[in-house]
Amino acid sequence: MFQILDIIGTMAFAMSGALTAMNKKMDPFGVFIIAFVTAVGGGTLRDVLIGRTPVGWMLDLKYVYVIGISFVLAVIFRKKFDKLRTSLFLFDTIGLGVFTLIGLEKGINTGLHPVICIALGTMTACFGGVIRDILCTEIPVIFRREIYATICILGGTVFFLLRKLNLDNDILYLTTSLVIISVRLMAVKFRWYLPTLENK
């Protein structure tokens, strides 16, 4: 089950990357690389910072294949993305939940403090998008207005609070991802934005 959600999230992230790259009129190599880093960039940064090398996608080819398929689908259906927007948004939200959990888990396995684990969860879920935006020379969208990373931090906090109750691991994971997914859906539905901070 978790495996399938991981794949769904990877596909959604890869497609969002491919879409951004095509908006920038890149060539197929550029589109593939942007799709790739959007999908695995956050986890790669996490692995490098905690010293788990070779990084994840080098040891499990599943990610390369899933991203390759997503890339091909994104190119074929590139003019029909508007119709798929709702599905893509749902998949992306699943990715947000699953990737945060994976990051939290790797942090715990490395023996790091909960605060750092939450940072790693957020990084896993959000920094692929940051690298995507930087490679497209845009200021990362999650730094500007979208409530996105904040939801991962909230999810991570809920995770560690619940963990103190000695819940079963399955329930712990399920609750955390449901919190992340439902807050994300509400944030978009009710147009919750973070205010921008200005100093002028």
**Which of the ranges 8-16, 109-117, 155-163, 174-182 carries the binding residues for its own copies, by CB under 8 A?**
109-117
**Which of the ranges 7-15, 71-79, 83-91, 97-105 carries the binding residues for its own copies, by CB under 8 A?**
71-79
- Residue 167 Cβ, how far from its own copies at the closest point, in Å? 26
- Residue 149 Cβ, how far from its own copies at the closest point, in Å? 5
189 Cβ contact partners less than 8 Å away, ≥ 6 residues apart: none
Q: Within 165-194, which residues bind its own copies (CB under 8 A)?
A: 193-194
What span, in angstroms and rounded, lies between the C-alpha atoms of 103 and 113? 13
Place of tokens 């959604």: 12
What span, in angstroms and rounded, lies between the C-alpha atoms of 47 and 128? 13
What span, in angstroms and rounded, lies between the C-alpha atoms of 81 and 85? 6
* Residue 159: alpha-carbon gap to chain centroid: 17
Between 2 and 193, name the residue whose CB sits nearer to its own copies: 193
86 scored as a contact of its own copies (CB under 8 A): no
Task: Name which position in 4, 69, 139, 185 contacts its own copies (CB under 8 A).
Answer: 139
List the end-to-end C-alpha distance of the chain, in Å, as a whole number.
50
62 scored as a contact of its own copies (CB under 8 A): no
* Residue 23: alpha-carbon gap to chain centroid: 20
85 scored as a contact of its own copies (CB under 8 A): no
* Longest CA pairwise span in the chain (Å): 51
Check if the beta carbon of residue 141 is closer than 8 Å to that of residue 38: no
- Residue 170 Cβ, how far from its own copies at the closest point, in Å? 28
90 scored as a contact of its own copies (CB under 8 A): no
81 scored as a contact of its own copies (CB under 8 A): yes
Residue 9 structure tokens: 């999230």
What span, in angstroms and rounded, lies between the C-alpha atoms of 55 and 65? 16
Binding mask 8-47 for its own copies (x = CB under 8 A): -----------x-xxxxxxxxxxx-xx---------x---
What span, in angstroms and rounded, lies between the C-alpha atoms of 103 and 30? 27
- Binding site residues, its own copies, CB under 8 A: 19, 21-31, 33-34, 44, 48-51, 53-55, 58-59, 61, 64, 75, 78-79, 81, 110, 112-113, 115-116, 119, 130, 134-140, 142-145, 149-150, 193-200
